[in-house]
Structure formats: C-alpha cells, structure tokens
C-alpha cells in the first residue's frame, strides 16, 4: 500500500519540476543538439592544403574538376601536417560581357567570391580565360603580359590528368602578391606561394 504513495510523491515532484523548468530543459536539449551537429560537421570538414582557382567564361564540368583535383593531390605536399593532401578547385567562372546568357546575380556572386579569395590569399594558382584576364589585368593581381601564360592544354599535367576539356584555352599563372605588412601573414603567404609555384611547375612540366 505504500508503494503507490511513494510513486505519487515522485510524480508530484516531477510534475512540479517540469512545470517550472521545462523550458530550461528544452533549451538545454536544443543547445546540446546544436553542439553535437557542430562537432559532427567540424569532424567531417575537409582542411584543404591548396585551392586552385578556375576563372573561365563557363563553369568547369564536375568531371574535369575531379580530374584536376586528383592530379594536384597526387603531386602536392601536405602543407597543414594532417597526414593527408587535399586540393580544392574553386570555380569563379564569369561569362564574357557580350554573352547573351549573362545572369547578373551569378556574376556578382562569382566576383564576390573571387574578391574574397584574392584578399585572403586562398588561391595562388589560377586558370584564367583571356576574356577574364582582360577584365582583371588592371587589378594588379595577375601578370600583365598574356603571352607569359602557358596554355593549359600545352602542359604535361593536362594530358596526365586526362585532358579536362573545361580548362582548354585557359592560361595557367601564379597570382601576384603585393606587400604584406603583417609579418605572420607574410610568412604564411610566402610559404603557401612557394609550395603552389612548385605545384604549378609540376603541372606545366617546367
């Protein structure tokens, strides 16, 4: 006869607790859920050693992007020391000004991503179409003389990567890095630039 009374007291305590603290419990459960999702995403997030930029007039095909990524990862070095080599192919394609299929929002999005890349030094190697070279040559980010750009299809890495047709006709080049006042940032950029230049030379066969 005492057991039902004890259960009733426990139930009453639980009901009181839930009445006063249910929102705290729900909020805590939601925060815990968010933390679990965040940790899961961070664990699954790839830490790229290099980013190679593609600045063509048409988007790079996924198959070609995969071919390039595979080639660069096979020839690159582990820069961040995690025991793996990951290379990202960043597509900043923008159509020519006389294109009839220009989407202003897509162009603005590509320009914004490209600007952030240039400011943060995300990419040192660029595949650039001549049309986009003409657009951005005055920014001082790319070498001025188009004749110094080696055509992608003339590079040994092009054939080794399975001749990714999307980059045919583009010129491969290292970006120009200006003066950087912050010493830590400058040293980081210099290390990344040197490794990227070595990787580009492997692609061009020089």
Quickly count: other Cβ atoms within 10 Å of residue 77's Cβ. 10
Which residues is 153 bridged to in the sheet?
none
Does residue 10 register a pLDDT over 90? no
Mean pLDDT of 154-162: 96
Band (pLDDT 50/70/90 cuts) for residue 28 is low
Contact yes or no for 85/160 (Cβ under 8 A): no
Q: List the beta bridge partners of residue 53.
A: 90, 126
Report the percent of the chain where pLDDT is more than 90: 54
DSSP secondary structure, 88-149, as one string: EEEE-----TT-TT--HHHHHHHHHHHHHHHHHT-EEEEEE-HHHHHHHGGGTSS-S-GGGS
Q: Which pLDDT value is given to residue 96?
A: 66
Q: Which residues contact 85 (CB under 8 A, 6 or more apart)?
A: 49, 73, 76, 77, 78
- Written as six digits, the tokens of 78 are 């582990």
**H helices of 45-85, where?**
62-75
- The span from the CA of 160 to the CA of 84, in Å, is 21
**98 has a pLDDT exceeding 60:** no
Give the tokens for residue 65. 């992007």
The CA distance from 111 to 93, in Å, is 9
Q: Is the pLDDT at 108 greater than 80, yes or no?
A: yes
- Distance, CA of 61 to CA of 21 (rounded, Å): 54
CB burial of 139-158 (b: ≥16 within 10 Å; e: otherwise) equals eebbbeeeeebbebeebebb
CA atoms within 13 A on the CB side of 59: 9
Query: Which range in 9-13, 46-50, 178-182 is most confidently predicted, on average pLDDT?
Result: 46-50
Would you state the pLDDT for residue 21? 57
pLDDT band at 181 (very low <50, low <70, confident <90, very high): confident
Helix, strand, or coil here: 177? coil
pLDDT digits (tens, 9 = 90+) for 159-177: 999 999 999 999 999 999 9
| Per-residue pLDDT, 1 | 43
Q: What is the mean pLDDT of residues 82-100?
A: 84
Distance, CA of 203 to CA of 206 (rounded, Å): 8
CB 86 within 8 A of CB 52: no
Cα–chain center distance at 152: 21
């Amino acid at each position: 006869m005492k057991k039902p009374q004890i259960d009733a007291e426990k139930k009453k305590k639980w009901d009181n607790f839930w009445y006063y603290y249910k929102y705290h419990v729900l909020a805590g459960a939601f925060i815990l859920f968010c933390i679990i999702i965040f940790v899961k995403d961070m664990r699954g997030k790839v830490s790229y050693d290099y980013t190679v930029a593609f600045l063509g007039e048409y988007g790079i095909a996924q198959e070609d992007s995969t071919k390039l990524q595979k080639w660069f990862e096979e020839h690159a070095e582990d820069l961040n020391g995690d025991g793996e080599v990951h290379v990202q192919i960043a597509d900043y394609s923008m159509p020519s000004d006389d294109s009839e299929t220009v989407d202003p929002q897509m162009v603005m999005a590509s320009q914004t991503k490209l600007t952030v890349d240039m400011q943060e030094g995300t990419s040192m190697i660029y595949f650039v179409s001549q049309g986009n070279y003409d657009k951005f040559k005055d920014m001082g980010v790319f070498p001025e003389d188009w004749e110094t750009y080696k055509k992608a299809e003339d590079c040994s890495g092009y054939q080794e990567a399975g001749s990714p047709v999307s980059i045919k006709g583009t010129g491969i080049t290292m970006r120009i890095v200006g003066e950087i006042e912050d010493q830590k940032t400058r040293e980081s950029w210099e290390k990344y630039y040197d490794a990227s230049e070595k990787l580009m030379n492997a692609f061009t066969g020089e």
